[in-house]
């Protein structure tokens, strides 16, 4: 088998040694080219990331807001859980108040409008609006509900709660 291989190729000794190498020289060079392209684009993405890293997060947690209250009058987003028992609805308007907590710190939010279906106490929420540093509260104009990654059948959840 080995002998027939040796004779069948009709190549000289040097070429056979070349063939034994995993990759031929010119292909190895092109492999470096490919790796260089990938390296450059990773580098570009990393640089972009460092330029925008303060803005990559969609929202600030209440702890972030206590540590680093936002400067200026721009709208910000705050996110966390709606504290249990904190939701207050007005009886004659769409005005509501609640507290966003990350279980360490919390901020008050007030909002006038319709809430998304998934909004409820102890569930995730992202509120956009203007932050008042003196009261540590947010005057929100948009409320988004977060849903978590858990999917449980209705019947199972009911049975668990009994």
**By the rule CB under 8 A, 143 interacts with another protein:** yes
Among 3, 93, 155, 162, binds another protein (CB under 8 A): 155
**Beta carbon of residue 8, minimum distance to another protein (angstroms, whole number):** 14
Count of beta carbons in the 10 Å neighbourhood of residue 126: 18
DSSP code of 60? B
Among 10, 50, 54, 151, binds another protein (CB under 8 A): 151
**By the rule CB under 8 A, 8 interacts with another protein:** no
Residue (50 or 134) nearer to another protein, CB: 50
How many whole angstroms separate alpha carbon 31 and alpha carbon 3? 33
Give the end-to-end CA distance of the chain in Å, rounded to a whole number.
Answer: 74
Q: Say which residue the tokens 């990350």 belong to.
A: 102
Angle formed by the axes of helices 2-9 and 13-20, nearest 10°: 120
**By the rule CB under 8 A, 153 interacts with another protein:** yes
- Summarize as ranges the residues that interact with another protein (CB under 8 A): 27, 30-31, 33-34, 37-38, 40-42, 45, 56-61, 79, 115-119, 123, 126, 142-158
């Amino acid at each position: 088998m080995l002998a027939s291989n040796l004779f069948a190729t009709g190549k000289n000794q040097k070429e056979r040694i070349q063939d034994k190498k995993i990759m031929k020289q010119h292909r190895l060079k092109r492999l470096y080219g490919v790796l260089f392209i990938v390296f450059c684009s990773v580098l570009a993405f990393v640089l972009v990331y460092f330029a925008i890293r303060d803005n990559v997060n969609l929202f600030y947690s209440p702890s972030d807001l206590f540590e680093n209250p936002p400067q200026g009058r721009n709208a910000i987003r705050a996110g966390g859980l709606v504290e249990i028992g904190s939701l207050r609805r007005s009886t004659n308007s769409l005005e509501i108040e609640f507290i966003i907590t990350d279980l360490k710190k919390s901020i008050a939010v007030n909002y006038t409008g319709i809430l998304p279906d998934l909004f409820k106490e102890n569930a995730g929420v992202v509120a956009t609006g203007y932050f008042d540093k003196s009261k540590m509260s947010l005057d929100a104009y948009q409320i988004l509900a977060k849903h978590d990654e858990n999917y449980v059948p209705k019947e199972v959840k009911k049975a668990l709660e009994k």
